[in-house]
Amino acid sequence: MKKNYDITIIGSGLTGLSASLALASLGYKIALIDPKPLIFDKKSFPDNRTTAISSGSVSFYKKIGLWKNLNKYACPIKKILVEELSSKLNTSFTSGANQEKAMGYMIENKNFIRTLLELTKKNNKIFKYDSKLLRFYRKRNGVFAILENNSEIESKLIIGADGRNSFLRKLARIDYTYKDYKQKAFTFNIEHEKLHKNLAIEKFLEEGPLAILPIKRKNNKNYSSVVWSCNFPDYYKYHNKSTKKLEILIQNYFERIYGKIKICTKVKTWNLSLTHAKKYVDKRVLLLGDSAHSIHPLAGQGFNLTIRGIQKIYDFADAEINSSKDIGKEKYLFNYSKKHYLDAALLILVTDKLNLFFSNSNFLLKNLRRSGIALFSRSNLARNVFKNYATRGSLLSIKND
């Protein structure tokens, strides 16, 4: 027996939960498909990462009524410091003292996803299926999903929010490009002696760019999150080794800012790559988040790009709510693809080239880096461009952000 919904969403990570809550807030009936139940188990949750939330993403979460639940875990970024190791050059970007004028926010993933899970469980417009998608087929006015538990779901649109290895993308035969960056990401949290003062640092080491980002904890200790994109073969010196080497590295470079430093979580690593779908839509199918574009973590704009995608489909859904509630129509999918693909392609291009530029020990590129950071220090235009990129994922100013 088929059950009818307005939208089917595959995947219940940050992307799937955010999309479900956003569309449900308009009154759409959502089928959320993922074998993982809507339960947060702190002991089994392996993610010690943090997510950067731009001012534009905050505005959207406020619009759909979620920010009040997330804000208590959010640490505002008031200053960004950019340093180039070999030249000792640096430049910085600041915001006002008022938290509302923060350049962005950092939220630990464990708090982020736990909050969204709790809100999803309470939402009477979202119906969770603890099962896998097996296959789907399409008709002119709808899409039918068949699940592993034999459930059959009919809706107007099916959304893939199931990550860089998206099964829905595979079923829809949407091709993608792949690039191996030959880097490993190291992520961990540090406890430090001095206050972070809402400072985010991007330091370009010979081994690859390293970011230290402020996070909020309930106790009185001082914490920050580290994301290091380490080049091949340098990462072999640290991968699967004692954390002591990493601790010494961080201490040597950042003691003047943070005082005594110690690693206070497990060190997680994964290979860095770019996965980019050749199209984001097909008949009655839409890809969101990493299933469409999984990008390099430099500047932390991947999830903000995802939120901009969710906002675009939300706007179409808002326009359609008093009609047939059919946002799987070709006109909506075409307009979504046209707008979001250009947005994503530009961000991917800039991030990809910046990673090449700042992760390379080539003598010529090192000199260009020095010139670039010197330019940022002197030029208001260059500083505004970089500030918009680092805080919004855009090269231009965005109104109402």
Q: How far apart are CA 82 and CA 102, in angstroms?
A: 17
Superfamily of domain 2-178+272-392: FAD/NAD(P)-binding domain (3.50.50.60)
Q: Virtual CA dihedral for 180, 184, 189, 194, nearest 10 degrees?
A: -100
Distance of CA 31 to the CA centre of its chain: 23
- Length of the chain, in residues: 401
Residue spans of the domains in the chain: they are: 2-178+272-392
Q: What is the dihedral of CA 363, 364, 365, 366, to 10 degrees?
A: 50
CA distance 319 to 18: 19
The pLDDT tens digits along the chain (401 residues) read 789 999 999 999 999 999 999 999 999 999 999 999 999 877 767 678 899 999 889 999 999 999 999 999 999 999 888 876 654 555 555 665 454 578 899 999 999 999 999 999 999 999 999 999 999 999 989 999 999 999 999 999 999 999 999 999 999 999 999 999 999 999 999 999 999 999 999 888 888 889 999 999 877 789 999 999 999 998 999 988 889 999 999 999 999 999 999 999 999 999 999 999 999 999 999 999 999 999 998 878 899 999 999 999 999 999 998 888 999 999 999 999 999 999 999 889 888 877 776 665 544 445 554 555 444 445 454 445 555 555 555 554 444 34
